[in-house]
Structure 1
Amino acid sequence: MAVAKIKAIFKSYPILANSAVYGTMCVTAEFSQQVVNRRYFSKKNPPDPLDKASLMRYAVVGSCINSNILYFWYKWLDAKFIGRSGKIVVKKLLLDQFVLTPQLLTVFYVSMSIMEGKKNIFEECRQKLIPTFQRSCCFWLPAQTINFLLVPPPARVVYVGTCSFIWVNVLCWLKRKELKVVTDVENV
């Protein structure tokens, strides 16, 4: 009965339902990162309080930006490349990883920098985009193979949201990494 209601909600309100699930996964991943970092890696006693502003930023990126991009992307991808043959799956994988992913990562870093009020909203993206993309290939190529072979199209954003819980933990960790300070001498 509950499964039927959930399916009905996703059928009637697909964008809203996908946004809620994907946004929740992003916030939950950031929350878990904060708890683990404060509880197990922080030397402060008592530990710092949760960073609610960071949780809100992940909520915005997850529920308002990425979930909508993914919804329309998968809708287009499934309409353009119909089927589950090896050739179709490879096309979807390559397009997803090499066309969409760099854009999603750019949107992630730049939108977070904007919401954090950084002076140079592109600096973190410039430094972290390629290492993040390399890690994403290791994670997302196998995950998306499963997606395109086994997951029905209406469940793609939820599946990706579930995988994203793991991936956003990686992003949270990468986001927390310190930026390399570039001086004018190094630019010469």
Structure 2
Amino acid sequence: MANSISMVNRVSTAVKALFKKYPMASNAVVYGTLITGAEFTQQTVTKKLLVKPPHQEPIDTGSLGRYAIMGTLIYPNVLYIWYQWLDSRYVGTATKTIVKKLLLDQFVLTPPLLCAFFIIMSAMERKADIFEECRKKMIPTFQMSCMFWLPAQTLNFVFVPPVARVVYVGTCAFIWVNILVWIKRQQY
């Protein structure tokens, strides 16, 4: 038992050192893994678990790749810089500060992130009109994001230390991307 605890402590120390030395890269790996995992989860449920053989479909690795790009190269870097700025500009956990952070996060950052999601994914999917999906799905997606992210971000800004914000958001994003992937698959 003591060896197990010692090993967990060594791993924990090593992970903390990686996040301290390479914060953007570490956040990108964790966030990208969670986002890609959310797409994999959705595909597994919709293509394997909810259908019976022989109607099961193979996992779409191209889609997994697109989510890996969004989740590793784009979103975590934007979020890392955003939260650094937000936390340096609005310090503390006073109610007024939290409300400012929530409003800025939801109404300044979220709309461009959602637009980027639909437009970049459509471009990577080589759709003829890369803006069509954004036009059709932006408003209902934003409304749903308010219901999900405002409570999630309240917890983030009140309880999560700044160094762990991107990982926390990545963990919440695993749930959110399952919702987003479901919305993306809907016909509007």
Which of 172, 175, 188 in structure 2 is aligned with 1:163? 172
TM-score, normalised relative to structure 2: 0.93
Which residues of 2 match residues 6-155 of structure 1 at below 5 A?
6-42=15-51, 45-155=54-164
The two structures, once aligned, show a CA RMSD in angstroms of 0.9
Any conservation in 1 of the 2:48–2:57 contact (CA below 8 Å)? no
Which residues of 2 match residues 171-186 of structure 1 at below 5 A?
171-178=180-187, 180=188
Tell me how far apart the structure 2 counterparts of residues 40 and 14 of structure 1 sit (CA, whole Å): 37
Identity of aligned residues (%): 57
Deviations 1:87-118 (A, max 9, x none): 00000000000000001100100000000000
Tell me how far apart the structure 1 counterparts of residues 58 and 72 of structure 2 sit (CA, whole Å): 24
Deviation for aligned residue 1:47: 1.1
Runs of 4+ aligned residues of structure 1 deviating over 4 Å after TM superposition are: none
Deviation for aligned residue 1:41: 2.8
Any conservation in 1 of the 2:118–2:133 contact (CA below 8 Å)? yes
Deviation for aligned residue 1:39: 2.1
Structure 2 runs not aligned, ≥5 long: 1-9
TM-score, normalised relative to structure 1: 0.93
Question: Which residue type is aligned with residue 88 of structure 1?
Answer: T
Structure 1 runs not aligned, ≥5 long: 181-188
The count of residues paired between Structure 1 and Structure 2 equals 179
